[in-house]
Structure 1
Amino acid sequence: MGNEIIKYDPELNTIPLRKFTPVEMNLFFSIISRMRDKSDQTIRFTFDQLKELSAYKPTANNRFEDDIQRTYEKMMGLHFGRRSKSGLTREFFVLFTEFKIDGDAEEPYVDVKVYERALPLLNKLESWVRYALAEFRDLKSSYAKTMFRLLKQFRTTGYAYFSKEDFFELLDMPKSYWNSPSNVDKFVIKPIKEELTPLFRGLTVRKKYGKGRGKPVIGYSFTWKPEKKDANDFSQGQLQDERQKLFNIQHNGELTEQEKWRAIDKVKGLTLGSTEKQ
């Protein structure tokens, strides 16, 4: 399952995953990765399959069931919708209509069914967001995970801009950060840069300032080397993947020396501070 690909309609990226933990994000998108082009049929995941897909660490089934249930409860809060050109006709719907967890079965499983009206988000896509599940699930910060998805939507252009309002909403940041740029820098931008630089060559993050007193931040732009349209998302093998990530870190002019050390530690799975001590 090392080359599992996630592919869905860009509309799915416009819905903030409010209060999702990194574990719950992994479970959610692991399910999404297997729902593509399955029509409205019910898809069954054994516990072992879902654990492997999502790289789930705790092994006790009761803990796993609790995490799946919390993920589903939060998924039910995700509302998708459409409106007519006039804006007078609007409809809203959830992504899944059936979700069954059976931990008593000889081989415990989860059954999932996509709501009929939500099928265009996962089936016969005219445009899409695509990326490797392994790259997504290996990210630790929920902010980095969300920004990874958002940037992959613009993979071949190498540029994405978000107004401050959209940036806060999509990343589901605390309201207290609105007037605290230092918190945004420390707890949001910093992990995004450290975790995504290995995956986006030449990644830069720039603030856009408005006019008026204090020149407030009004938006954030991201640039990186565009991917080729025919580029695939398959792993080239652990050693080659790691070599490419380290190259991207070492040749990024935006990261401080300390940020590079932390990024290297994360890629190698080392305790933070290990590279700095060498």
Structure 2
Amino acid sequence: MSSLLNAVEPSTPQTNNPTHHYRNPPQDQPTAQDQPITAEVITQNTPTIPTEIAEKYVTFHNDVNSVSLGNLGALEANLLFAIFNKLKDKEDETLVFEAEDIRAMIGIKTKVSLENLSKIVEKFWKNIKAASFWALYPYAKENIMLFRKLRINYHDTKKTQVKSMEIQVNTPYFGYLLNYLHGNFTYFELLEFQNISGKYAKTLYRLLKQWKSTGVPPKMEWGKFRELMGISSSYTIGELEMQILKPAAQELQKLPHFENLCYKKIKTKGMGNRITHIQFYFEPITKTSKDREQAKRDIRTIAWKIRSEKAVKQLKHSMEQAKQTKLDKDMQEVIDMAFYKPQDPSVVLVVDGIQPAKDGYEILVKYYREGKEFQAKSAVLANKETFLTAMTKGGYQIVESQAQQLHTPKQPQATSSNNDLTEYIGRNLYMNNNGISASLKITDIAHIENGKVRVDIKDIDKPRKTLNPFILDNVKHFKSWFKKYKE
């Protein structure tokens, strides 16, 4: 397999990215304002663009790609690189662009009003002033602008009808970015760049085009990538990928050599689960058809491998989600379950609530005596099986019937069964208390001391809900009461 395919391995790809050594003038020598600052560069083997096609292409020093231009919108980016194309090899000459020139340079086919054109130009002026080109001089502290002159002329005093722009590169500081480049430069077709939709796709296109001869840019530190792309720190990883990275990649995949563009987010050992770098792969520009076919096969293999890794991760995630869903469902079955200890049946323990916790589920239980809550406790357990095992070890048994759960251990024991009232067991009642209605079922009837009658009931809609029994004075009272509330 070729070197392109090998680049997907963990080792860092070799890069021909130039390293710049900027000279700081000694303290006893004239400063930069007095003499040009030169940039010594290690050149890369990039061919000079033929003169006959140079007008179609934007050409600039690779240093431009190390400056964050992410604040520029799509139309402003079109304008900047069209200006770069016009300023190529013009040294410090001031160029004037009329309104019609500006309309053509922003890459919109429909006619733009002077008012809207003014807004685009003013936004461009504001954002290009803020671009950190001074960062190209790491041993100096000065806000150095890319353009020595950027003048906007208007037809009106309110400055709403743009007339022209005057542009001059800030030489000697940045003249090297656009003048007489024979190596160490990036170039691309201006029209192709203008036709790309979206500012993030345009920025990604420009950054990748520097490495068109290899198809494997050096992996980029994640924070630096976000900075160069102009991505706000407010975006989460998921939002960034779904709203910016994937749409930008899909836009570029419409272009030759980017059809199989793919990327891989990289995590570094010892850095936890944090993404530290991003690596892109695309089909390089090759000289022969044989090399071109090999490059296509290689990039497709890399893309397949990246997609496979993502598919495996997604499958594992889906399996974990399914497992968690089953655990959640099992735990929901525990809610409202009731338990008691045979040696003390007067106390009933009821599971009142469950919520996810770090090591499983936090289970809230409430204790009832004679239908009244007197205590509540919570504990974290891994799953339903663990909970039931803990209850068994604690000597608890599951309450099998409503009568057993709610009333049998709570009230004075019945002295005898009233056979005359057994026909009422299982009958339904309907009651309305302060506007709250309830449907009840009689579960048991028994005589207790002093001729009184105890009626055990349950809520039909909430069968596990603890309800106190009704105590009626005598059988006659019971029959009158039943007649009043029967359904």
Normalised TM-score (structure 1):
0.74
Name the structure where strand makes up a greater proportion of residues.
2
Shift, 1:229, TM fit = 6.8
2:68 corresponds in structure 1 to: 16
Q: Distance in 1 between matches of 2:204 and 2:305?
A: 17
The residue type paired with residue 215 of structure 1 is: N
Of 148, 158, 173 in structure 2, the residue corresponding to residue 97 of structure 1 is 148
The residue type paired with residue 43 of structure 1 is: L
Q: Secondary structure at the match of 2:122?
A: helix
Of 87, 90, 98 in structure 2, the residue corresponding to residue 38 of structure 1 is 90
The residue type paired with residue 168 of structure 2 is: K
Q: Distance in 1 between matches of 2:250 and 2:259?
A: 12
Q: Distance in 2 between matches of 1:167 and 1:25?
A: 18
The residue type paired with residue 228 of structure 2 is: L
Equivalences for residues 183-202 of structure 1 within 5 A: 183-199=239-255, 200-202=258-260
Equivalences for residues 94-133 of structure 1 within 5 A: 94-104=145-155, 108-116=163-171, 117-125=173-181, 126-133=183-190
Change (3 A) 1:214 1:73: same
Of 248, 263, 269 in structure 2, the residue corresponding to residue 205 of structure 1 is 263
The residue type paired with residue 92 of structure 2 is: D
Of 45, 66, 71 in structure 1, the residue corresponding to residue 119 of structure 2 is 66
Q: Distance in 1 between matches of 2:282 and 2:96?
A: 38
2:423 corresponds in structure 1 to: none
Q: Distance in 1 between matches of 2:175 and 2:191?
A: 24
Larger Rg: 2
Identity %: 24
1:158 aligns with 2:215: yes
Q: Distance in 2 between matches of 1:101 and 1:93?
A: 20
Please say if residues 68 and 132 of structure 2, whose CA atoms lie closer than 8 Å, have aligned partners that are also in contact.
no
Please, which moves more after superposition, 114-123 or 214-223?
A: 214-223
Q: Distance in 2 between matches of 1:255 and 1:192?
A: 18
Shift, 1:198, TM fit = 2.0
Equivalences for residues 221-232 of structure 1 within 5 A: 221-228=279-286
Q: Secondary structure at the match of 2:125?
A: helix
The residue type paired with residue 68 of structure 1 is: V
Of 206, 209, 212 in structure 2, the residue corresponding to residue 149 of structure 1 is 206
Please say if residues 70 and 203 of structure 2, whose CA atoms lie closer than 8 Å, have aligned partners that are also in contact.
no
The residue type paired with residue 113 of structure 1 is: Q
Name the structure where helix makes up a greater proportion of residues.
1
Please say if residues 156 and 229 of structure 1, whose CA atoms lie closer than 8 Å, have aligned partners that are also in contact.
no
Please say if residues 58 and 64 of structure 1, whose CA atoms lie closer than 8 Å, have aligned partners that are also in contact.
no
Please say if residues 129 and 152 of structure 1, whose CA atoms lie closer than 8 Å, have aligned partners that are also in contact.
yes
Equivalences for residues 259-270 of structure 1 within 5 A: none
Please say if residues 197 and 203 of structure 1, whose CA atoms lie closer than 8 Å, have aligned partners that are also in contact.
yes
CA-to-aligned-CA distance 1:61-83 (integer Å, 9 cap, x gap): 02101210110121111232354
Please, which moves more after superposition, 155-164 or 204-213?
A: 204-213
- Stretches of structure 2 that go unaligned for 5 or more consecutive residues are 1-52, 157-161, 289-298, 308-487
Q: Secondary structure at the match of 2:174?
A: helix
Please say if residues 18 and 172 of structure 1, whose CA atoms lie closer than 8 Å, have aligned partners that are also in contact.
yes
Q: Secondary structure at the match of 2:71?
A: coil
The residue type paired with residue 232 of structure 2 is: P
| Number of residue-to-residue matches in the alignment | 230
Shift, 1:214, TM fit = 5.6
Q: Distance in 1 between matches of 2:229 and 2:137?
A: 24
2:78 corresponds in structure 1 to: 26
Q: Distance in 2 between matches of 1:9 and 1:91?
A: 21
Q: Distance in 2 between matches of 1:147 and 1:128?
A: 16
CA-to-aligned-CA distance 1:207-236 (integer Å, 9 cap, x gap): 112235762211111111111379xxxxxx
Equivalences for residues 44-55 of structure 1 within 5 A: 44-55=96-107
- RMSD over aligned Cα, in angstroms? 2.9
Q: Distance in 2 between matches of 1:169 and 1:83?
A: 18
CA-to-aligned-CA distance 1:44-67 (integer Å, 9 cap, x gap): 212112211321345210210121
Q: Distance in 2 between matches of 1:151 and 1:175?
A: 22
CA-to-aligned-CA distance 1:96-116 (integer Å, 9 cap, x gap): 1212223329x9322111111
Please say if residues 45 and 111 of structure 1, whose CA atoms lie closer than 8 Å, have aligned partners that are also in contact.
yes
The residue type paired with residue 185 of structure 1 is: E
Shift, 1:30, TM fit = 1.5
